[in-house]
Chains A and B, each alone.
Chain A
């Protein structure tokens, strides 16, 4: 259960005061805070097990390998995958780049990749790098409320479309995309289906399905430490793929001029892995499992719902993304109209524009009230361009946030609403 106050007591950082006041952390989309259980697991690893994994034959190394592999099992179990389908990476970005430099590199001139206009840069740039070799990248659009335009996606899905890579939940609009429906369409077309789950797996129940070929996510966005990420890959896909990095660990046999690679997932984990990261992520998963992912989703839906309602009462505030909380996660991008009497000569052809406060000004204004929101383009510039904006402010929630945070946030926004 998560009470309406959130679970701050498990998170040591919330004992910290800045300017003598509690911190209101509303930037979990960027990264999450860590519970005591995760911090203890990390020190516990170094105090009790540390040795290099998969290499040595002595007991301590066996134990280190065991906790590392147990962490992998825990991740697999959390999303309904098999252990050998879980590759540890640094983060979502590296997971997606791994795919670009393996299956992406096998594409030829005229092949197409379909993504959406609401992707994070880390699900755009690994694909547009292939344009140099004549691969075409298409973007499926979204409607005014930020729902993915499935008709547009279908019409852009061509015979030449080899890869479709879609975010499960937008890190700006909050939109939850219907990945099962999309997966079906993609599979009928015979394309590879990749899901950027960086913003979904931390916040809602998630099970891999047959239509999903690959799923990427980050540990640090789900209460785990930084520097550990995951790539789920269907085993038959992983088995066909060439390795990404090469070096220690990932080989069965090396001769002067030849090599036999390990089987997946080790084939994709060259070099000493981030064992403390895997152990920390596993502890984070244990923490989330005790709460239950349905409960996490319920709590965030509740906070989102009171936030949207509160924002609707503030005349100068506009938020983006779906109005129905069933269709969105606890990420709320917004802007505030600048009602100050600005006597500047900025308007094109003297037409008075509806001026917005710059998102950094909103964030600094809130920062001075200890309310921490993100501002800018959120690593999604094409999305910002589609919205006709250069940036937004963004608040996002997680298990430690409560109604009290929402109240202070809305009250502070209200002060901006009436300023001058």
Chain B
């Protein structure tokens, strides 16, 4: 069986690459899950409808932190619309480890925040 907290996940949890605030962002999205206590802020810098950079700040479980960090990194250079259109299932399948159904919301946190808060120009 595969372990959720494998090296890839834990390495990113401990050394996230897109963590930290961004003062000159164009879009700022506050996302909180009251049931989990997760709180994430996405900072997005855009050029037209393209993502130039994305960073995050916040607190959450290992899965939401890792998913958010990966999301920020993978979104760079992409179109706002194409990100919003990513299918939930595809997004979860793309996560480096297999997720139990009860934890899918953790992984989807950044995508949902983005869909809600990233407006096209």
Contact = CB atoms under 8 A, between A and B. Distances in A.
Interface in A183-211: none
Interface in A336-380: 340-346, 357-358, 360-361, 364-365, 367-368, 376-377
A346 B58 contact: yes
B13 to A, nearest CB: 7
B58 A368 contact: no
A368 B3 contact: yes
B117 interface: no
B100 interface: yes
A419 B7 CA distance: 11
Given A340-B14, A341-B14, A377-B35, A346 B103 contact: no
Interface string A371-391: 000001100010000000111
Contacts of B62: 357-358, 361
A342 B14 contact: yes
A340 B100 contact: no
B27 interface: no
Interface class of chain A by DSSP: loop
A420 B5 CA distance: 11
Contacts of B77: none
A19 interface: yes
B26 interface: no
A364 B14 contact: no
Nearest to A367: B100
13 contacts: A340-B14, A341-B14, A343-B16, A346-B57, A358-B60, A360-B36, A360-B63, A360-B106, A364-B63, A376-B35, A389-B37, A420-B10, A420-B14
A360 B19 CA distance: 21
B88 interface: no
A365 B36 CA distance: 17
Nearest to A390: B37
Interface in B1-43: 1, 3-5, 10, 13-16, 19-21, 34-38
A148 to B, nearest CB: 25
A142 to B, nearest CB: 21
A19 B10 contact: no
Contacts of B15: 343
Nearest to A362: B61
Interface of A: 19, 340-346, 357-358, 360-361, 364-365, 367-368, 376-377, 381, 389-391, 419-420
Interface-central residue, B5, B102, B106, by most chain A CB under 10 Å: B5
Interface string B77-118: 000000000000000000000001011001000000000000
A340 B15 CA distance: 10
B61 A361 contact: yes
Contact of A376 (B3, B10, B36): B36
A389 B4 CA distance: 24
Given A342-B14, A360-B61, A360-B106, A368 B37 contact: no
Contacts of A391: 36-37
Contact of B13 (A19, A340, A345, A364): A340
A345 B21 CA distance: 9
A224 B58 CA distance: 43
Given A358-B60, A391-B36, A391-B37, A343 B106 contact: no
Contacts of A340: 10, 13-14
A340 B62 CA distance: 11
Given A365-B5, A368-B3, 11 more contacts: A344-B19, A346-B59, A358-B60, A360-B36, A361-B61, A364-B4, A365-B4, A390-B36, A391-B37, A420-B10, A420-B14
Contact of B1 (A342, A343, A365, A368): A368
B35 A419 contact: no
A344 B65 CA distance: 10
B5 A419 contact: yes
Contacts of A419: 5
A322 to B, nearest CB: 25
Nearest to A353: B59
Contacts of B13: 340, 342
A376 B65 CA distance: 17
Interface-central residue, A360, A376, A381, A391, by most chain B CB under 10 Å: A360
